[in-house]
Structure 1
């Protein structure tokens, strides 16, 4: 995928590093979320047009986790 990086964020959590990259290509914008654990990487792509839904779902999950913990 030939994409231009528009913005990046890095989150450190114990032995994991998460990279959140906003990229743009010929089909539009996408957020690439990569988890790096000791050099092993897993990645998902989230289309920018559904970021609101994605963030709302994560917010609901966080609220539930906060209630449980």
Structure 2
């Protein structure tokens, strides 16, 4: 049984045949963002510690800027 008592916030992004779930969770070790990609029922997940979200978002912004300039 899955308990979502630690779920603080969730976002869902639809992109073609993929669905991305971004869940802010908290447990005894702190807060994390769980990023899940769902493609036809197959899921892959990464966990990003909330204390490095600024670095993570900055890196994604740099990647986006490069992609936008091509």
Q: TM (normalized to structure 2)?
A: 0.93
Task: Select the residue among 6, 15, 19 that pairs with 1:13.
Answer: 15
Aligned length: 67
Q: TM (normalized to structure 1)?
A: 0.94
- Unaligned regions of 5+ residues in structure 2, if any? none
The whole-number CA distance in structure 1 between the counterparts of 2:21 and 2:67 is 22
Q: Which runs of 4+ in 1 moved over 4 A?
A: none
C-alpha root-mean-square deviation of aligned residues, in Å? 1.1
**Quick check: 1:35 aligned with 2:37?**
yes
Matches within 5 A, 1:47-62: 47-62=49-64
- Unaligned regions of 5+ residues in structure 1, if any? none
